[in-house]
Structure 1
Amino acid sequence: MLNLERLRTLDALARHGSVSRAAEGLHVTTSAVSQQLAKLEREVGQQLLARNGRGVRLTDAGSLLADHAARILSQVELAQSDIEAQRGEVVGEVRISAFPTAARGLFPATLTTLRADHPELTVRTRELEPAQSVLAVLRGDVDLAVVLDWSNKRLPVPGELTRAELLDDATDIAVPAGHRLADRTEVDLEDFADDAWVSWPEGEFCYEWLMFTLRSRGVEPRIAHLAGEHHTQLALIAAGAGVCVAPRLGRGPVPDGVRLVPVRQTMRRHVHAVWRADADRRPSIRAAVAALRSAAGAP
């Protein structure tokens, strides 16, 4: 009889491509992953992994079993969803990811609501950027993700995912207190054509959005600093390092020395939750979405 947890470990290795990333996805140590895979090899009596430089690769037998493992785990998840739906009770575990400002702005109230209304539900959360969250939902690493896109740049969401709108998040431009535009009641992005920018890291969806948006306004961005955390960005603005986009969700207190100026052409982030369509029947998913909508102030 094949052990389900060992199949889950093999599936994680096949999806993530390395022992270390599989361990991270499963929230276990690399040693635990290696031990599970070694036991699985003994269980099936065939070599499933082969050395590949400093890492490992699946053998033909490993790839064959990994394909079966993915289908088995999908059926197990479907069975769990059906049983949970039949009971009609919000129980078990739900795993939620969100980009950092949504995690800060929405998770505390969401967790408070779920603890009060559904004490038998275990909730696990993690921070992930939007594109990573979509992949994590597709892979089954998380059940529900809070993601975003912008009014002028959409995040691709595969058709097998369901979405629910949570809120529209307005943004401002953060400038040093002594900036020439600090006292304006509103600005245009073109006003910052000569300024240095503090941006999200390259490769992130919001970085690509910023480049696209500025260039569409005829501004060639001059990126001086990259920082993934909004509070770090604002600290750099306070130090006079440039200007940045400052969304309002999860923003918290603004450091001394920073001024926030609204943008005349309103820039909004559309924040929504996504989950796999085949999990739509799970009461825990519906409860988590409802709690997120309540935290976001959605009707």
Structure 2
Amino acid sequence: MKWTFEQLKTFSVVADLGTMTSAAEALGFTPGAVSQQMAALQAGLSRPIFARDGRRVTLTDAGVTLLRHARILLEAERRAATALSGPQSEQRTVVSVGVFGSAAVSAMQPAIEYLRKTSPNVAIQAMEVDVEIMPQATLDHRIDIALGLSYDDAPQPPLRGVVTEVLHQEPFLMVLPPEAAELGGDDAALVDYANNHDWILPPVETYFGRACRFACAKGGIEPRVQHTVTDTAVSIALAESGVGITLATPLMMGLRPTDTPTVALPGNSQRRIVAIARSSALEKESVLAVRDALIQAFPPLRT
């Protein structure tokens, strides 16, 4: 069965008014145009929908059934047209956002608040995804947009069809045992201390683990890794207890605030928080709204 919405609209008016002529006047068509539309509609159906009653047309049982469903379709079309006529959909749109620990804690609440003010019909659904597979997860349509990571000395390889935008950058910090408080900001003393004490770092097989080692090398440090720990809060707690040195960033420190000494890692290595999305996803108003909310969730980048 094949029909158009135009045919169904005309059919509904003919059914209401009872003649092709009256329907033509109501619609601004010629009677011949209405007759042609109804003939085309009938040709696509297996059962007759009209019966003649003098000069009037009445509906057969099949016509009554078609009219009932046609009005449902026409109402759905009307609602869809109304929903799309404004800048926002009438329906609540949920955008899935890939997140990881420290970025989620920092960005989700302010991004949600920003959307409530600017795009109230768009909602965020946070989904924890391994940061190493975040770009591929967006490409595979598992998430609409993501908060990912990039490092100065260990950049992620680009993926065709994936767009990356820097939202925030922050320095690496050395989280020191309490005994190192007297070192202050003397880079030479820090490097000497760091090369002669135990370290707590993630496995070298992980993205952050590799980035930590590259950042240390840039600062002239060869970390003696005694403890292999993935969890940021645990690493900071171990440094606080005096068993070794670890690396973190200001946002990561938000997961485990501490009074133990923290100093900038020599070498000025940076970690970047990035927004990752398929280029096609950014054609959706809802995804663009979430991207803008994520941008607003972080302090402005310094140039």
TM-score class normalised by the smaller sequence: 0.5 to 0.7
Contact 1:175 1:182 in 2 (8 A): no
Distance (whole Å) between structure 2 residues aligned to residue 292 and residue 131 of structure 1: 20
Contact 2:218 2:269 in 1 (8 A): no
> In the alignment, what sits opposite 1:193?
195
> In the alignment, what sits opposite 1:144?
145
Distance (whole Å) between structure 2 residues aligned to residue 225 and residue 88 of structure 1: 53
Distance (whole Å) between structure 2 residues aligned to residue 161 and residue 85 of structure 1: 27
Shift of 1:218: 5.7
Task: For residues 95-151 of structure 1, give each alpha carbon's deviation from its aligned partner in whole angstroms, at most 9, with x where no partner exists.
Answer: 111221111111121122123332322311123232221121111111111111112
Distance (whole Å) between structure 2 residues aligned to residue 161 and residue 269 of structure 1: 20
Distance (whole Å) between structure 2 residues aligned to residue 221 and residue 110 of structure 1: 37
Tell me which of 206, 210, 213 is aligned to 1:211.
Answer: 213
Contact 1:186 1:264 in 2 (8 A): no
> In the alignment, what sits opposite 1:274?
276
- Quickly say closer, same or farther: Cα 1:217–1:184, change in 2 above 3 A: closer
Amino acid across the alignment from 2:286: S
Alignment of 1:147-296 (within 5 A): 147-179=148-180, 182-187=182-187, 190-191=191-192, 192-215=194-217, 219-252=221-254, 254-256=257-259, 258-296=260-298
Distance (whole Å) between structure 2 residues aligned to residue 184 and residue 190 of structure 1: 12
What's the TM-score, normalizing by structure 2?
A: 0.64
Aligned length: 214
Distance (whole Å) between structure 2 residues aligned to residue 125 and residue 244 of structure 1: 28
- 3-state SS of 2:238 partner: helix
Larger radius of gyration: 2
- Quickly say closer, same or farther: Cα 1:119–1:217, change in 2 above 3 A: closer
Alignment of 1:50-129 (within 5 A): 88-89=87-88, 91-129=92-130
Task: For residues 266-294 of structure 1, give each alpha carbon's deviation from its aligned partner in whole angstroms, at most 9, with x where no partner exists.
Answer: 12112210100111210111111111111
Shift of 1:225: 2.0
Contact 2:215 2:269 in 1 (8 A): no
Contact 1:85 1:283 in 2 (8 A): no
- Quickly say closer, same or farther: Cα 1:201–1:85, change in 2 above 3 A: farther
Shift of 1:157: 2.6
RMSD across aligned positions (CA)? 2.4
Amino acid across the alignment from 1:113: Y
Shift of 1:202: 4.1
Q: Is there any run of 5+ residues in structure 2 with no aligned partner, and where?
A: 1-82
- 3-state SS of 1:249 partner: helix
What's the TM-score, normalizing by structure 1?
A: 0.65
Distance (whole Å) between structure 1 residues aligned to residue 223 and residue 94 of structure 2: 44
Shift of 1:213: 3.5
Distance (whole Å) between structure 1 residues aligned to residue 118 and residue 279 of structure 2: 24
Amino acid across the alignment from 2:162: L
Shift of 1:215: 4.3
